[in-house]
Amino acid sequence: MDVTVIGTGYVGLVAGSCLAGAGNRVTCVDVDENKVGRLNAGEVPIYEPGLEPLISENLAAGRLRFTTDAAGGVRKADVIFIAVGTPPGADGFADIEAVRAAAGSIAGHLRPHAVVVMKSTVPVGTSEIVRDEIASRTDVPFHVCSNPEFLKEGDAVADFMYPDRVVCGVDTEHGRGRLEELYEPFIRSGKPIIFMDIPSAELTKYAANAMLAARISLMNQFAALCEHTGADIEHVRRGIGSDPRIGPAFLYAGAGYGGSCLPKDVEAVIRSAAQRDIDLTILRAVNEANERQKTLLARKIRRRFGDDLSGMRFALWGLAFKPRTDDMRAAPSRAIVAALRERGATVAAHDPVAMDQARTVYVGDEIEYGADEYETLAGADALILATEWLQYRRPDWTAVGERLSRRIVFDGRNLYDPERMAELGFEYYPIGRTQVGPQVVA
Ligand SMILES: NC(=O)c1ccc[n+]([C@@H]2O[C@H](COP(=O)([O-])OP(=O)(O)OC[C@H]3O[C@@H](n4cnc5c(N)ncnc54)[C@H](O)[C@@H]3O)[C@@H](O)[C@H]2O)c1
């Protein structure tokens, strides 16, 4: 099939490459000339495990190409995915301007019975806006479907290749048939394509992210209760996660959820419900709890060292919002860096893949970087763990202790064992677990 993907970011690039991998001829379109140029030169602009070989193989096979020319890109396409960003607007609503622009750029160039698929996460009703936008510019018959994406950064290729389920909102047999044909190679292990109406598909994506965010915020609040009662959130997590009605995923207390999806999608669905006079009280609390959680490590640090951190130095392990990605959008590390710098401290950071990204976030010498994680520790008053990268899980504690000027660790991901940290002679501040050292309850 001839497929065009408009928007070549985390979602569009992965979807386009995987669809090419299944034998389709795929054109990826983006307005960012620099990105398209780099991709055509064989350079992959994001870090995502497994993506680079997939792109190079499909480029070499002639099944994948990158262009800024939307009109040329869609002329032959049977299916066009819109996968542009829908960032939060100033008012918290999802900003769908890029979606409208993408629809406008393809409208006059569709072949008859082309299927336009909304892959971006969009408020209910957006697919209809796209339909109207296109219909106002062409007489050619076309179909609109909704196919929200559930891939996780860090596992995006595997998630697309082996989805748990594919959700498709359709209102014509033709649209349904095209999506069935396109996804059939990816669900051979028996995973379902769940067909439904378009508004339900649009809302399913928000409901999924809302549910995941709610689990995390609830655990974070139980972690706070643990700190006041002597209970251990890790025991509680295992205790409830073994209940099949609850399940073990997304129950980890930590420094708050981040990334480009959960925070913005929770906010966006709250806003779009409010527009219809529906108050999503639970989600508002989920959001509020997370905003507070993102300041937890900084509050603990202030409890331990006082409000004035000037002249102090902190080592920060992890900048990406989670492991196996270089994405720093809404990462908890950013809240920590901002709070420390605001109070006069210096931050030396390390991340296995996100340091190039960080250099676009922090200008000049706003933060320092270590060539490896140990280099950040020299003369630091404490180590802060913000992202649970595999390589941080079993550090050489002798080397850590020798380099730090004080043996103090703030662990935003509960990676280490309090008893072991006590044996090693570290002050240790995890989240919702036994602390080692002067008690700091924030
Ligand atoms: N990143 C994720 O993990 C993830 C997962 C599921 C769903 N989503 C959703 O998918 C959508 C895309 O997310 P992303 O993370 O890939 O975004 P992104 O910011 O990484 O990529 C968006 C791309 O679209 C391009 N673009 C913007 N306007 C354009 C236009 N008019 N024509 C062509 N290209 C245009 C941008 O240049 C950019 O390269 C969002 O709605 C997001 O909520 C993201």
Q: Which atom of ligand 1 is nearest to the CA of 84?
A: 24
- In this predicted structure, the answer to whether residue 440 has a pLDDT above a threshold of 90 is no
Do residues 229 and 333 share a domain? no
Q: Read off the CATH number of the domain in which 407 is found.
A: 3.40.50.720
Residue nearest to atom 20 of ligand 1 (CA): 9
Are 98 and 126 spatial neighbours (Cβ–Cβ below 8 Å)? no
Q: Please tell me the distance between residue 183's alpha carbon and the centre of ligand 1 in angstroms.
A: 20
Mean pLDDT confidence for 1-6: 98
Q: What is the mean pLDDT of residues 404-419?
A: 97
- Reported in sequence order, the residue ranges of 278-412 that DSSP labels E, i.e. its strands, are 313-317, 346-350, 368-369, 382-385, 408-411
Do both 181 and 256 map to the same domain?
A: no
- The residue segments making up the domain with residue 243 are 205-291
Per-residue pLDDT, averaged over 31-59, amounts to 96
Spacing of C-alpha 136 from chain mean position? 34
**Shared-domain flag, residues 227 and 308:** no
The 10s digit of each residue's pLDDT in 123-144 is: 999 999 999 999 999 999 999 9
Q: Is the CB of 120 under 6 A from ligand 1?
A: yes
Residue 162 lies in a domain: yes
Cβ of 373 less than 6 Å from ligand 1: no
% of the chain beyond a pLDDT of 90: 97
Tell me whether strands 114-118 and 79-82 are parallel, antiparallel or unpaired.
parallel
Percent residues over pLDDT 70 in the chain: 100
Give a yes or no: residue 321 inside a domain: yes
Q: Above 90 in pLDDT, residue 441?
A: no
User: Of 291, 312, 337, which residue constitutes the final position of a domain?
Assistant: 291
- The answer, yes or no, to whether any atom of ligand 1 lies below 6 A from the CB of 346, is no
Please, are residues 68 and 36 in contact by the beta-carbon 8 Å criterion? yes
Which residue CA neighbors atom 35 of ligand 1 most closely?
7
315 and 260, same domain (yes or no) = no
The mean pLDDT of the chain is 97
Give the max Cα distance, the chain.
74
Q: Does the pLDDT of residue 62 top 80, yes or no?
A: yes
Statement to judge: residues 157 and 47 lie in one domain: yes
| Residue among 4, 6, 11 whose CB has most ligand 1 atoms within 8 A, to mutate | 11
Structure confidence at residue 439 (pLDDT)? 83
Atom of ligand 1 at shortest range from CA of 12? 16
Q: Quickly list DSSP for 421-437.
A: HHHTT-EEE-SSS--BS
Nearest CA to ligand 1 atom 11: 120
| Gap between the Cα atoms of 176 and 63, Å rounded | 24
Instruction: Return d(Cα 69, Cα 106) in angstroms, integer.
Output: 10
Q: Tell me how many domains the chain contains.
A: 3
| One domain for residues 189 and 43 | yes
Query: Nearest to residue 235, comparing CAs of 1, 430, 64?
Result: 430
CA-265 nearest atom, ligand 1: 43
H helices then E strands: how many in the chain?
17, 14
Indicate whether residue 133 lines ligand 1 (CB < 6 A): no
Residue 124 counted as domain residue = yes
pLDDT tens digits for 345-385?
999 999 999 999 999 999 988 999 999 999 999 999 999 99
Do 285 and 301 belong to one domain? no
CATH of the domain at 239: 1.10.1040.10
- State mean pLDDT over 69-92: 95
State the distance from the centre of ligand 1 to the C-alpha of 10, rounded, in angstroms. 6
Q: Is residue 439 part of a domain?
A: no
Final residue before a domain boundary, out of 262, 291, 320:
291
Ligand 1 neighbourhood includes 98 CB (under 6 angstroms): yes
Q: Is 261 a catalytic residue?
A: yes
Q: Are residues 8 and 121 in the same domain?
A: yes
CB–CB of 102/7 below 8 Å? yes
Please tell me the distance from the alpha carbon of residue 434 to that of residue 227, in angstroms, as a whole number: 7
Digit-coded pLDDT (tens) for 268-325: 999 999 999 999 999 999 999 999 999 999 999 999 999 999 999 999 999 999 999 9
| Domain-located, residue 230 | yes
Report the separation in Å between the CA atom of 299 and the middle of ligand 1, taken as the mean of its atom positions: 34
Q: Are residues 276 and 425 in the same domain?
A: no
> Is the pLDDT at 211 greater than 90, yes or no?
yes
Whole-structure pTM value: 0.95
Instruction: Name which residue sits closest to atom 37 of ligand 1, judged by CA.
Output: 32
Residue 410 has pLDDT above 80, yes or no: yes
Calculate ∠ Cα 271-220-438, nearest 5°.
135
Question: Are both 24 and 109 inside the same structural domain?
Answer: yes
CA distances from 96 to 105, 115, 195, 364 (A): 14, 20, 24, 33
Under the banding of pLDDT at 50, 70 and 90, the label for residue 90 is: confident
Question: Can you give the pLDDT at residue 217?
Answer: 98
Cβ partners under 8 Å of residue 191, min gap 6: 162, 163, 164, 165, 166
Q: What is the pLDDT of residues 162-209, one digit of tens each?
A: 999 999 999 999 999 999 999 999 999 899 999 999 999 999 999 999
Does pLDDT of 442 surpass 80?
A: no
Residue 152 shares a structural domain with residue 248:
no
What pLDDT does 79 receive?
98
